[in-house]
Amino acid sequence: MKLIKIFILMAIVTFSAKVTTAQELKFGHINIQKLVAELPEKKAADAQLQAEANKLQDQLKVMSQDLDTKYKTYLTQRDSLPDLIRATKEKEIQDLDTRIRQYNQMAQQTLSQKEQQLLQPIMQKVQNAINEVGQEQGLIYIFDISTQVVLYHSDQSIDCEPLIKAKLGIQ
């Protein structure tokens, strides 16, 4: 009887040790914004986006100078112009101002779309590396600490940045 009790006790201890091991959860964390900023692809995308923004800004500057010139000319001639010509000039200036505003909005939309287009493959590459590291390390979750959604992480949480950087081939 004592032998059976000892056997049962040992079985319980062995089983509970396996359950505890099975319940050991592994978590990781990474600062994705910092990681992405260090990627050469991100730096190249930023340079390409800046070049596009400069082109759009140059065109906007030309349009604004044209508006300014027409407005100053109109102000100097306003009193001497017949009503019909004055109204036509005012309408022309208002239309040009409206076009500049529309152009500015379209330029912002274009830049936003271009940024999405350039960042999408970069973010996919990072996500793939995160997935691989998570699987290799047996992690349940990898949290992005750059979003500050994770309010606390202990020292037991694995910093995945060096592992993901290695996957991406950056130092």
pLDDT for residue 13 is more than 50 = yes
Structural domains of the chain sorted by starting position, each given as residue range(s) with its CATH number in brackets:
25-168 (3.30.910)
How far is the C-alpha of 165 from the C-alpha of 126, rounded, in Å? 9
pLDDT band, very low/low/confident/very high, at 22 (cuts 50, 70, 90)? very low
Residues 130/160, Cβ–Cβ less than 8 Å: yes
Identify the burial level of 169 via C-beta atoms within 10 angstroms of its C-beta, where 0-12 means exposed, 13-18 middle and 19 or more buried. exposed
Q: Report the alpha-carbon distance of residue 12 to residue 18 in Å, rounded.
A: 10
Express each pLDDT in 58-113 by its tens digit. Answer: 999 999 999 999 999 999 998 999 999 999 999 999 999 999 999 999 999 999 99
Cβ–Cβ < 8 Å for 146, 37 = no
Name, in order, each residue with C-beta under 8 angstroms of 32's C-beta and a sequence gap of 6 or more.
Answer: 126, 144, 146, 147
Give the C-alpha distances (Å, rounded to integers) separating 108 from 44, 46, 79, 104, 118.
20, 15, 38, 6, 15
pLDDT tens track for 94-104? 999 999 999 99
Q: Is this model's pTM higher than 0.85 or not?
A: no
Residue 158 phi, psi (nearest 5): -80, 125
